[in-house]
């Protein structure tokens, strides 16, 4: 096995403890917004408000009564009849929508875009049914058959009723405040520039979803230092997160109802960089996460959410990493000595994370080695090492072996407890 151990060890010893502080200062608006820019900002603000109680409250303070103007003056009665029928149906719709959403993601995983499109259309039909039922329920007259109850809150308030009351002069500041509110609600550090509270995804096809995500992330390479948090239905919890491993490539990690994680990849059509993330690496990563029982919080904790500081990098790392991400393991293995990189960044909680990545050829494949250091209490650190060995046995099958180990260390790198290693996990992945 030709592994540059000396380079790897040297980079490990050279890692500093300097923290990265992502600036949260908001730049003053230098010019007036055009009509198109103002309209786009209002639409974004309205969508954030649709997904967040906190943003709706902030908007209501700035535009009193805007949401209430959409509601009836009298609450519907609690007696039997059409109102109870509507409420019963509304109670069932979320469960049906979740089943369709799970099926749609499964169809994307199988690359069955026709089935995914059908399920997306069914989801849209459910949303329309829900909106119509809520509108009908709100319009039902109150009766004396029973005591009145509080108005039923609509989960889809008018998209622009309150946002339209904010002037173009103030819309940028309100949008910034909405983003900070949603960062806080979704468990991130408020004001961190690399954390993007995503708007709900509406696309029916992968290309449409890629375009929606591209509109919310910065341009490459800044996008590589950002992480998007997706709360698709405004429940206040993270349903999925998105990162950008290469130009015009978006990876969506999502936790299903049964707790398993799925990984979907969306590429901008007709853009350079589309071949940069292959189907084989996607399947290997998704299977690895399931085999080691990875969780979304664990994965999120080791994603950059702000500027990345490169502590050291060998000359061939970028080249060998590009081959590995594309799934071209044979070409990656031909680079003598492979490549190594060490970097430091802040995660979405504002914690400083250090990562060392090494890619090296072996006698019959490729070795991917990753060491992640995260802070713990009392000045201690958690070191987690993952070593993945890839053995392409044919043009369509790759055998994979994953070894993991953890160790508790002091800030100076001194071991504080015996190293803990899990049993190796082996599996094969087909194209």
**What is the three-class DSSP state of 196?**
strand
In a domain, 112, yes or no: yes
- What is the number of domains present in the chain? 2
Same domain, 310 and 412: yes
In a domain, 189, yes or no: no
Cα–Cα dist 312/315, whole Å: 10
Helices (H), 66-144: 82-109, 113-139
Q: Of 48-52, 104-108, 289-293, where does mean pLDDT reach its minimum? A: 104-108
Same domain, 101 and 10: no
Same domain, 15 and 96: no
Same domain, 308 and 420: yes
Same domain, 12 and 103: no
pLDDT digits 0-9 by tens, 115-155:
777 777 788 788 878 888 887 787 776 543 333 343 334 44
What pLDDT is stored for residue 238 in this prediction?
93
Entry field: residues in the chain: 431
pLDDT digits 0-9 by tens, 169-198:
999 999 999 999 999 999 999 999 899 999
Same domain, 73 and 15: no
Backbone angles phi, psi at 97, to 5 degrees: -65, -40
pLDDT band at 92 (very low <50, low <70, confident <90, very high): confident
Same domain, 119 and 15: no
> What's the DSSP call for residue 205?
S
Same domain, 310 and 417: yes
pLDDT digits 0-9 by tens, 217-257:
999 999 999 999 999 999 999 999 999 999 999 999 998 87
Cα–Cα dist 187/179, whole Å: 13
In a domain, 424, yes or no: yes
The domain boundary residue, chosen from 117, 139, 161: 139
Tell how strand 366-375 and strand 352-361 pair up: antiparallel
> What's the DSSP call for residue 23?
-
Enclosing domain of residue 403: 5-19+301-430
Same domain, 15 and 117: no
In a domain, 84, yes or no: yes
Instruction: Using alpha carbons, select from 318, 305, 380 the residue that is nearest to residue 344.
Output: 305
């Amino acid at each position: 096995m030709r592994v540059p151990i000396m380079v790897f060890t040297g980079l490990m010893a050279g890692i500093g403890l300097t923290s990265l502080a992502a600036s949260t200062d908001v730049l003053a608006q230098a010019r007036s917004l055009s009509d198109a820019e103002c309209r786009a900002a209002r639409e974004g603000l309205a969508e954030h408000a649709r997904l967040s109680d906190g943003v709706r409250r902030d908007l209501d303070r700035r535009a009193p009564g805007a949401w209430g103007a959409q509601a009836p003056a009298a609450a519907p009665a609690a007696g039997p009849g059409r109102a109870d029928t509507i409420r019963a149906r509304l109670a069932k719709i979320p469960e049906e929508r979740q089943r369709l959403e799970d099926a749609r993601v499964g169809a994307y995983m199988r690359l069955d875009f026709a089935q995914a499109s059908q399920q997306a259309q069914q989801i849209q039909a459910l949303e329309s049914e829900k909106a119509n039922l809520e509108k009908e329920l709100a319009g039902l007259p109150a009766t004396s058959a029973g005591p009145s109850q509080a108005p039923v809150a609509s989960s889809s308030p008018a998209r622009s009723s309150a946002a339209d009351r904010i002037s173009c002069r103030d819309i940028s500041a309100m949008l910034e405040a909405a983003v900070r509110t949603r960062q806080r609600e979704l468990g991130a550090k408020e004001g961190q520039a690399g954390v993007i509270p995503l708007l709900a995804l509406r696309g029916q096809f992968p290309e449409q979803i890629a375009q929606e995500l591209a509109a919310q992330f910065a341009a490459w390479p800044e996008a590589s230092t950002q992480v998007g948090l997706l709360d698709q239905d405004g429940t206040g919890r993270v349903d999925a997160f998105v990162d950008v491993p290469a130009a015009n490539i978006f990876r969506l990690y999502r936790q299903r109802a049964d707790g398993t994680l799925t990984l979907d990849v969306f590429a901008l059509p007709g853009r350079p960089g589309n071949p940069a993330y292959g189907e084989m690496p996607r399947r290997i990563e998704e299977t690895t996460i399931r085999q080691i029982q990875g969780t979304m919080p664990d994965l999120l904790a080791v994603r950059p959410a702000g500027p990345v500081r490169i502590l050291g990098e060998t000359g061939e790392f970028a080249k060998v990493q590009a081959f590995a991400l594309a799934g071209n393991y044979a070409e990656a293995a031909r680079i003598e000595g492979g490549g190594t990189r060490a970097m430091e960044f802040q995660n979405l909680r504002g914690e400083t994370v250090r990562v060392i990545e090494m890619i090296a050829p072996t006698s019959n494949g490729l070795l991917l080695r990753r060491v992640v250091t995260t802070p713990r209490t009392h000045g201690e650190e958690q070191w987690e090492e993952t070593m993945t060995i890839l053995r392409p046995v044919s043009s369509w099958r790759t055998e994979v072996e994953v070894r993991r180990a953890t160790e508790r260390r002091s800030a100076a790198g001194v071991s504080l407890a015996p190293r803990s290693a899990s049993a190796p996990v082996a599996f094969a992945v087909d194209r």
